[in-house]
Every structure is written in structure tokens, then in C-alpha cells.
């Protein structure tokens, strides 16, 4: 049985999804994937540490992204810029003035919410009602059911859609105009109550800047104030000419970067989904003005393909076009993922125009133009950005991979069916017993194979327990060394997913396993 199967009745689905999410969190802790930061001091809200297994999975995910960007594209290069940057960069980028969320407090529960999220959650409930109507009608009409016709003609469904549109329109206008009074009125009109206190006793909505700041140097005054970067992208923008010139890059070209970003999130919850310190993987693609929409569509498709190559099924992803555009974008879409708590943003693809580069020209007084030899003229390039949170990707992969399986003998096992190339350890080397030269043979195998892929060695507990532990860690293969191994140089090779075992020559192990656990096979599918 999977913790979560795709088609369950609505309420069951929610309960199962909650169970899955709890399982993911406890599994993460129990097996050394993710720990609460500063746990012995009762933790620090929305900050997490990666354990010995987690760091390996995270590195493998980052490596998959990095290689897909920089190794698979001859016109994309990577850089690594500092977290601290000149404070004027954040003025130029618009983050000092506009990187804020609309905040609202419930006076009874004293809980703080993002006003737009309260409204979006309300819209999601209305969408749920539409889905229920469609489901009922599917049952009633059977094979003759025409969903498109039903949605466009059924009175109740049409009314729900009109309601959603009217709410979205009011929210967009309120947010775009910065009219926070209207946002509060919308919350009141929709009779949205605090999920904790159940009351509608709300404060006014106000803007809250998400950037952390600190002081650089020994003197504390306004001039020493610097920010912890809220996105890695600006490090790319301010270096774009350095890279273009030293790398002799010709437009279109991309610059990729991975690294920490920091945001003082108002509502930081859902484990590593929304953190105050997190890691981004961003790529800015510099293009000729006027071609940006073409590239925007290309990158949307390319990024979706990258996600789908992980093998979790295309139904786990969907695009969501933004209602409210970030201050720098003229087109933006999210790739949403089916997390245990529903479809949520995993990656953003933005057409950022020439906003950032023009702003940096203005604030730095330096020209940031590119000379196009084909056009024989200079211009400020347009930029299409892909931006994904590594921690969110980690959470998505972990939750889709975690399963509880009922076995034929009536027992069950917890297995982490990670794509093999992402697994922290690719091969567990397990001597059947701790004597008779079996551990020595095990170490001999380890010392041969460790040059090709990550292996682990374990001689503690019964072999059955060690198999279960490796299932839970996501190790795709285990080899068991027994007395026969000493005689004929063979071992049993066990497959995590099928639990099938076969006797193979030790000399054949490397070729057998390397192909299945190597990222290059996945890159070939892109
Ligand atoms: N440079 C563009 C940018 O930063 P964004 O949509 O704000 O765009 C990009 O962020 C991605 O970063 C998101 O899709 C998400 O995966 C991740 N992200 C953003 N805020 C996060 C947070 N508080 N915790 C974890 N991941 C976050």
C-alpha cells in the first residue's frame, strides 16, 4: 500500500495526505535526512539542518540540476557569488521598496497570516466544490459524460467559476494598486475566519519587507547596513558582463548559480517547504530583446521535461500562471508539484525583461550593454529566469518516494523508492556474519567500488534488518557476502524495489550497477 494513492475519496485523501506528510517528517529525522536546527535549544523556527543522508540526497539533486544546466548546454556557464552584496543592489533591484508580503493578524489567536494566502486558500476551497460536482456528474452520466460541456453549462459550476474570477480580479487590483484596505474588505466580504480562533477579528493589512539585514564592519550606522540576499539572481546580474567578456559568450547565453537565500517569511510552516534560510538554483538566460517570449516558452518546456525525467509521473506537475506578477516580470509561471498538502509552487519561470540590468545601469552609473556582432549594435539584453528551491525539490522527491508496502507474507516494509541516481548510497555491502573473513571480503569490495559510486558498509544486526534499513534509506542495491563468496568470488545482489536476489560475480558488480545509478543515463533522456 502506498501512503497516498492518487485517486482516493476527497476526505480520505486529506487524511492520507496528512499521514504521509507526518511520515515524511518523522522518517527524515529517524534516518538522518533532516533535523530541526538548534534542536537542543527547542529549535529555531523555519530553519533546518541536513543530516548525513540528507546532505547526500541534496548534493545529488543539485548535481542533477547543475549538470543539466552547465554540462548539457554549451552556452550556459556556472558561477558562485557572495551572499553579502553592496546594499544599493537591493535598492536597484526593487527589493528594498517592493519585496514585501501583505500581512494580517488575527486579534484573538494572535496568529499572523499572509492576506493573499488566506484568499487563495478560500479560492482553493471553491475549486474543491467544482471538483466534487464534476465527480458526482461523472458517476451519474458514466461513459456519456462530457466534462468540458458540463463545466461550461452547469449552473452551479458556472457560478463557482464566476465567483473565483471575481475574487481573483479584486485581489489583483488591490495588490497591484497597493490598496491594502480593499484586500481587508475582500477578506471580510468572503467571511474568512482564522483557522485557529475561528474569529473574523482581523487587524488592517500592512506590507512587511522580507529581507534580513545586518551590519558590516565595526561601526553601526545606516551606511553599514547590508542585506542577506533574498535571491541568488542579483549576483548573476551584476556579474553578467564579467562572465560574458571573460567567457567570450554570445547571446543567447545563460549563467547558473546555486546557493543560500534568506527571507523573513511571515508564515513559515510546512517543514522545509517554506524556510527562512534556504537554497536556490537559478539560471538567468540573456537574450535579444523581442525574443524573450519564445525563450520563456522554451524554458518552461525544458524545465518541465527535467522534472518529469525524475519518473514521478507527469500528473505530479502542473503549470500555474501568476495573477500578481513580481515587480520585475512581464510573464511568469510556476511549475507546481503535488506535495502531500496539495499542488504548490516548486519552481518559477520568469521573463524579467531588461528591468534588472537597466536598474543596475542607473544605480551604478556603469554601462551594462552587450555588443551584438551579428546586429552590429549594442543593447541591454532581456532575461528569462528559471528559479527552483532545492529544499522544496528535496521535500517533493522524498514524499513521492516514501512508501509503505504490504508484503506477500503479511508483513510490511517502509521503502524509499528514490530514483537510483539520487540515492545517498548506491550500494550497501553486507557481510552475512561478522567473522570467517567475510568482513575482510566486504571491505575488499568496498575499496574497489568506492571509486565509481557511493557505497556503504554495514555488519550490525541480522541480514533481514539490514535489508529493511537500506530500504528505508533508499539504497537501490545491497550485496551480501557469504561463505560461498570466499570460494567462488560471487555475492548475492538484491534489488530494493523488486527485492529479487541474484548471484553475480564480484567482478561484474561495477558494470552492473554503475549504469543504473549514474546521472548520465537520466541526462540522456532530457
Ligand atoms: N529569483 C526569482 C525568485 O527568487 P521566487 O519565486 O521568489 O523567485 C524561486 O523563488 C523559488 O525559490 C521558489 O519557486 C521556491 O522553490 C524557492 N523558495 C522561495 N522562497 C522559499 C522559502 N521561503 N523556502 C524554501 N524555498 C523557497
Q: Are residues 348 and 392 in the same domain?
A: yes
Which residue's C-alpha comes closest to atom 4 of ligand 1?
Answer: 231
Distance (Å) from CA 364 to ligand 1 centroid: 26
Q: What is the mean pLDDT of residues 126-133?
A: 93
What CATH number did the domain enclosing 469 receive?
A: 3.40.50.800
Q: State the maximum Cα–Cα separation within the chain, in Å, rounded to a whole number.
A: 81
Distance (Å) from CA 335 to ligand 1 centroid: 12
Q: What is the mean pLDDT of residues 20-29?
A: 96
Helices 509-517 and 438-449 meet at what angle, rounded to 10? Answer: 50
Tell me 220's DSSP state.
Answer: -
Q: What is the mean pLDDT of residues 291-299?
A: 97
Write out the residue range of the structural domain in which residue 195 sits.
100-209
Q: Facing residues of 479 across strands?
A: 429, 493
Of 61, 66, 65, give the one whose Cα is nearest residue 50: 61
Q: Are residues 75 and 197 in the same domain?
A: no
Cα separation of 399 and 28, whole Å?
A: 10
Q: Are residues 72 and 220 in the same domain?
A: yes
Distance (Å) from CA 123 to ligand 1 centroid: 22
Distance (Å) from CA 247 to ligand 1 centroid: 28
Distance (Å) from CA 239 to ligand 1 centroid: 21
Q: Are residues 106 and 181 in the same domain?
A: yes
pLDDT per position as a tens digit, 48-85: 999 999 999 999 999 999 999 999 999 999 999 999 99
Q: Are residues 259 and 393 in the same domain?
A: yes
Cα separation of 12 and 102, whole Å?
A: 33
pLDDT per position as a tens digit, 348-388: 999 999 999 999 999 999 999 999 999 999 999 999 999 99
- Find all residues with CB under 8 Å of 326, minimum gap 6, and list them: 332, 350
Tell me 281's DSSP state.
Answer: E
pLDDT per position as a tens digit, 70-129: 999 999 999 999 999 999 999 999 999 989 989 999 999 999 999 999 999 999 999 999
Out of 155, 179, 209, a domain closes at 209
Q: Pick the atom of ligand 1 nearest to 282's CA.
A: 1
Q: Are residues 252 and 297 in the same domain?
A: yes
Tell me how crowded residue 276 is: count the other CB atoms within 10 A of its CB.
19
Distance (Å) from CA 432 to ligand 1 centroid: 46
Q: Are residues 238 and 340 in the same domain?
A: yes
Q: Pick the atom of ligand 1 nearest to 334's CA.
A: 14
Confidence of residue 421 (pLDDT cuts 50, 70, 90): very high
Q: Pick the atom of ligand 1 nearest to 393's CA.
A: 16
- Find all residues with CB under 8 Å of 12, minimum gap 6, and list them: none
Asked if residue 393 lies in contact with residue 306, where contact means CB atoms within 8 angstroms, the answer is no
Q: Pick the atom of ligand 1 nearest to 232's CA.
A: 1
Q: Are residues 48 and 106 in the same domain?
A: no
Query: What pLDDT is stored for residue 15 in this prediction?
Result: 53
Q: Pick the atom of ligand 1 nearest to 276's CA.
A: 23
Distance (Å) from CA 321 to ligand 1 centroid: 15
What CATH number did the domain enclosing 218 receive?
A: 3.30.930.10
Q: What is the mean pLDDT of residues 276-299?
A: 97
Whether the upstream peptide bond of residue 150 has omega within 30° of 0, thus cis, is: no
Cα separation of 295 and 286, whole Å?
A: 10
Q: Three-state secondary structure along 194-241? A: CCCCCCCCECCCEEEECCCEEECCCCCCHHHEEEECCCCHHHHHCCHH
Cα separation of 517 and 428, whole Å?
A: 13
* DSSP character string of 100-148: EEEEEEBTTT--EEEHHHHHHHHHHHHHHHHHHHHHHHHHHHGGG--HH
Which residue's C-alpha comes closest to atom 15 of ligand 1?
Answer: 389
Out of 181, 209, 237, a domain closes at 209
Q: Are residues 459 and 515 in the same domain?
A: yes
pLDDT per position as a tens digit, 433-452: 999 999 999 999 999 999 99
Q: Are residues 244 and 374 in the same domain?
A: yes
Count the domains in the chain: 3
For residue 335, the number of C-alpha atoms closer than 13 Å in the C-beta half-sphere is 26
In this prediction the pTM is 0.87
Cα separation of 168 and 401, whole Å?
A: 35
Tell me how crowded residue 402 is: count the other CB atoms within 10 A of its CB.
23
Asked if residue 282 lies in contact with residue 233, where contact means CB atoms within 8 angstroms, the answer is yes
Q: Facing residues of 344 across strands?
A: 337
- Find all residues with CB under 8 Å of 67, minimum gap 6, and list them: 519, 523
157-161, 269-273, 400-404: segment of lowest average pLDDT: 269-273
Q: What is the mean pLDDT of residues 238-254?
A: 97
Ligand 1 surroundings by CB, under 6 angstroms:
231, 233, 263, 265, 274-275, 278, 280, 282, 345-348, 385, 387-389, 391-392
Q: What is the mean pLDDT of residues 456-467?
A: 97
Q: What is the mean pLDDT of residues 207-218?
A: 91
pLDDT at residue 325 greater than cutoff 80: no
Cα separation of 482 and 460, whole Å?
A: 15
Distance (Å) from CA 228 to ligand 1 centroid: 15
Out of 177, 209, 241, a domain closes at 209
Q: Are residues 204 and 273 in the same domain?
A: no
Which residue's C-alpha comes closest to atom 12 of ligand 1?
Answer: 389
Q: What is the mean pLDDT of residues 400-427?
A: 96
Q: Are residues 78 and 105 in the same domain?
A: no
* DSSP character string of 305-372: HHHHTTSS-GGGEEEEE-SS--TT-SEEEEEEEEETTEEEEEEEEEEEETHHHHHHHHHH-----EEE
Among 233, 280, 347, residue to substitute to test ligand 1 (most atoms within 8 Å of Cβ)? 280
Amino acid at each position: 500500500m502506498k501512503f497516498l494513492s492518487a485517486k482516493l475519496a476527497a476526505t480520505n485523501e486529506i487524511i492520507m495526505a496528512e499521514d504521509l506528510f507526518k511520515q515524511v517528517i518523522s522518517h527524515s529525522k529517524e534516518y538522518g535526512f533532516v533535523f530541526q536546527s538548534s534542536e537542543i535549544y527547542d529549535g529555531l523556527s523555519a530553519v533546518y539542518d541536513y543530516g548525513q543522508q540528507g546532505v547526500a540526497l541534496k548534493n545529488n539533486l543539485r548535481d542533477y540540476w547543475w549538470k543539466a544546466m552547465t554540462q548539457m548546454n554549451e552556452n550556459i556557464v556556472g558561477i558562485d557569488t557572495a551572499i553579502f552584496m553592496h546594499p544599493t543592489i537591493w535598492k536597484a533591484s526593487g527589493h528594498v521598496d517592493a519585496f514585501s508580503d501583505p500581512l494580517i493578524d488575527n486579534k484573538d489567536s494572535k496568529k499572523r497570516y499572509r492576506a493573499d494566502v488566506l484568499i487563495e486558500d478560500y479560492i482553493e476551497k471553491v475549486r474543491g466544490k467544482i471538483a466534487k460536482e464534476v465527480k458526482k456528474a461523472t458517476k451519474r452520466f458514466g461513459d456519456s459524460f462530457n466534462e468540458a460541456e458540463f463545466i461550461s453549462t452547469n449552473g452551479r459550476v458556472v457560478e463557482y467559476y464566476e465567483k473565483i474570477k471575481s475574487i481573483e480580479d479584486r485581489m489583483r487590483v488591490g495588490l497591484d494598486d497597493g490598496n491594502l484596505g480593499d484586500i481587508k474588505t475582500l477578506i471580510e466580504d468572503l467571511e474568512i475566519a482564522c483557522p485557529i480562533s475561528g474569529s473574523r477579528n482581523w487587524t488592517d493589512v500592512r506590507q512587511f519587507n522580507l529581507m534580513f539585514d545586518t551590519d558590516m564592519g565595526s561601526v553601526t550606522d545606516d551606511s553599514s547596513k547590508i542585506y542577506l540576499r533574498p535571491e541568488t539572481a542579483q549576483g548573476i546580474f551584476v556579474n553578467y558582463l564579467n562572465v560574458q567578456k571573460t567567457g567570450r559568450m554570445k547571446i543567447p547565453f545563460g549563467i547558473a548559480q546555486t546557493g543560500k537565500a534568506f527571507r523573513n517569511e511571515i508564515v513559515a510552516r510546512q517543514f522545509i517547504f517554506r524556510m527562512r534560510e534556504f537554497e536556490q538554483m537559478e539560471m538567468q538566460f540573456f537574450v535579444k530583446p523581442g525574443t524573450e517570449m519564445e525563450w520563456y516558452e522554451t524554458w518552461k518546456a525544458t524545465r518541465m521535461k527535467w522534472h518529469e525525467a525524475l519518473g514521478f509521473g507527469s500528473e505530479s506537475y502542473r503549470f500555474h500562471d501568476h495573477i500578481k506578477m513580481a515587480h520585475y516580470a512581464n510573464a511568469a509561471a510556476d511549475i507546481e508539484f503535488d506535495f502531500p498538502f496539495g499542488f504548490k509552487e516548486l519552481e518559477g519561470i520568469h521573463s524579467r525583461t531588461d528591468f534588472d540590468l537597466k536598474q543596475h545601469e542607473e544605480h551604478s552609473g556603469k554601462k551594462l550593454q552587450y555588443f551584438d556582432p551579428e546586429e552590429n549594435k549594442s543593447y541591454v539584453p532581456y532575461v528569462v529566469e528559471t528559479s527552483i528551491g532545492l529544499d522544496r525539490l528535496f521535500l517533493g522527491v522524498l514524499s513521492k518516494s516514501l512508501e509503505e508496502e504490504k508484503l506477500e507474507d503479511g508483513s510490511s516494509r517502509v521503502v524509499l523508492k528514490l530514483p537510483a541516481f539520487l540515492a545517498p548510497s548506491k550500494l550497501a555491502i553486507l557481510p552475512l556474519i561478522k567473522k570467517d573473513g567475510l568482513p575482510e571480503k566486504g571491505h575488499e569490495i568496498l575499496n574497489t567500488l568506492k571509486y565509481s559510486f557511493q557505497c556503504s558498509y554495514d555488519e550490525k544486526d541480522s541480514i533481514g534488518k539490514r535489508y529493511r534499513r537500506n530500504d528505508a534509506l533508499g539504497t537501490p542495491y545491497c550485496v551480501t557476502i557469504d561463505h560461498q563468496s570466499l570460494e567462488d568470488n560471487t555475492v548475492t545482489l538484491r534489488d530494493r524495489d523488486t527485492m529479487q536476489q541474484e548471484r553475480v560475480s564480484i567482478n561484474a558488480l561495477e558494470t552492473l550497477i554503475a549504469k543504473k545509478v549514474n546521472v548520465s543515463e537520466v541526462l540522456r533522456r532530457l
